[in-house]
Amino acid sequence: MNEGKNKFEYTYSAPTEEERAEIESIRRSYLSPEPGGDGGKLARLRKLNARVKNAAVCAGLTAGIVGVLLFGAGMSLSLSFSRYAAGIVLSLVGILPMAAAMPLYKFVLGRGRKKYGEEILRLSEELLNERK
């Protein structure tokens, strides 16, 4: 009569590989790196890599945005205010930073790689050799 109340059921499902990878990623972000261990070197490597890439992206985006704003202001002068000469000149001036955005990005990226490249390569070699 009380058999159903004393019954215990348990089901278990293991996380999939994708879930396991996500769990490990989240877990690693909360582990504090040891001062002299791989965590410090890896953190330094990530920081240097981000510094190189972010500086280049920031320079390219800034040039592109300034160019688009100048170009738009020139178009606005021409179309809305019938100031054709000033609008065309301002639009042409705006084309210059837009055209220079990608070369500027590549220049700043190359300069950053030249400046931090040796340290990034050294740190990556140390990390790869320690893990073997």
pLDDT digits (tens, 9 = 90+) for 41-83: 888 999 999 999 999 999 999 999 999 999 999 999 999 999 9
Please compute the mean of the pLDDT values over residues 96-101 and round it to a whole number. Answer: 97
Q: How far apart are CA 39 and CA 28, in angstroms?
A: 10
Q: Within the chain, where are the H helices?
A: 17-30, 38-80, 84-130
% of the chain surpassing 70 pLDDT: 87
Residue 52: alpha-carbon gap to chain centroid: 10
pLDDT band at 38 (very low <50, low <70, confident <90, very high): low
The pTM is what?
A: 0.68
The domain spans of the chain are 51-132
Mean pLDDT over the full length of the chain: 87
